[in-house]
Structure 1
Amino acid sequence: MIRLSGKQIRHLRGLAHHHRIVVMMGNSGLTDTLKLEFDSALSAHELVKVKLPAGQSKEKRAILQLLCRAAGAVPVQLIGRVGIAYRPAETPRIILP
């Protein structure tokens, strides 16, 4: 897993602001299908917004961490029920500062 500096995280948060939510987690929870969908979304977009179920912030943070760990991504931000994750592609389209 890669490490991001504060400057890089701020840059990614700014880019993600205009993105739509790509992956939505339903009542089924953290399933293999959700992990595959998350992985394919990261492959296609590099920067992905995920809508998480309602719950405690610690639970949502843990779910985002598990999703990112399974896909080899880095959690960028979690606000409310929306998480942002980043995984660079083999030929990156997003150039980090």
Structure 2
Amino acid sequence: MQLNNKQKQFLKGLAHPLKPVVLLGANGLTEGVVAEIDSALEHHELIKVKVPDEDRELRAAIYEAIARETAASQVQVIGKTLVLYRPAREPKLKLPK
């Protein structure tokens, strides 16, 4: 799903007070972590994921892999935190046009 700038700004505002729902551990991006992110997206639609890796290029690759594997839209990256959005089967959030 492609988000336009207006929709991204709206989602960034909603994501601001949120705490990270998933924190990647020492094992990195495993199938279990991807399943947990997928489950969190289905339940919340808008989540934050914390990736504590120090290598900037590796973090960017992890962010891309997470978005691809979960079919979610990357809204924003703040330091080591990724903000993801994916509408649920019955969407709770109403995005602007």
TM-score range, shorter chain: over 0.9
Q: 1:94 maps to which residue?
A: 93
CA distance in 2, matches of 1:28, 1:45: 25
Cα-Cα RMSD: 0.9
Deviation string, structure 1 residues 29-68 (Cα, Å, up to 9, x no partner) = 1100000000000011000100002223332122111011
CA distance in 2, matches of 1:60, 1:78: 10
Q: Percent identity?
A: 43
Q: 1:29 maps to which residue?
A: 28
AA aligned opposite 2:67: C
TM-score after normalising by structure 2: 0.94
CA distance in 2, matches of 1:58, 1:8: 27
Q: 1:6 maps to which residue?
A: 5
CA contact (8 A) 1:78 1:84 kept: yes
CA distance in 1, matches of 2:56, 2:12: 19
CA distance in 2, matches of 1:24, 1:33: 12
Number of aligned residue pairs: 96
Unpaired segments of 5 or more residues in structure 2? none
Classify the secondary structure of the residue corresponding to 1:21.
Answer: coil
CA distance in 2, matches of 1:38, 1:89: 13
TM-score after normalising by structure 1: 0.94
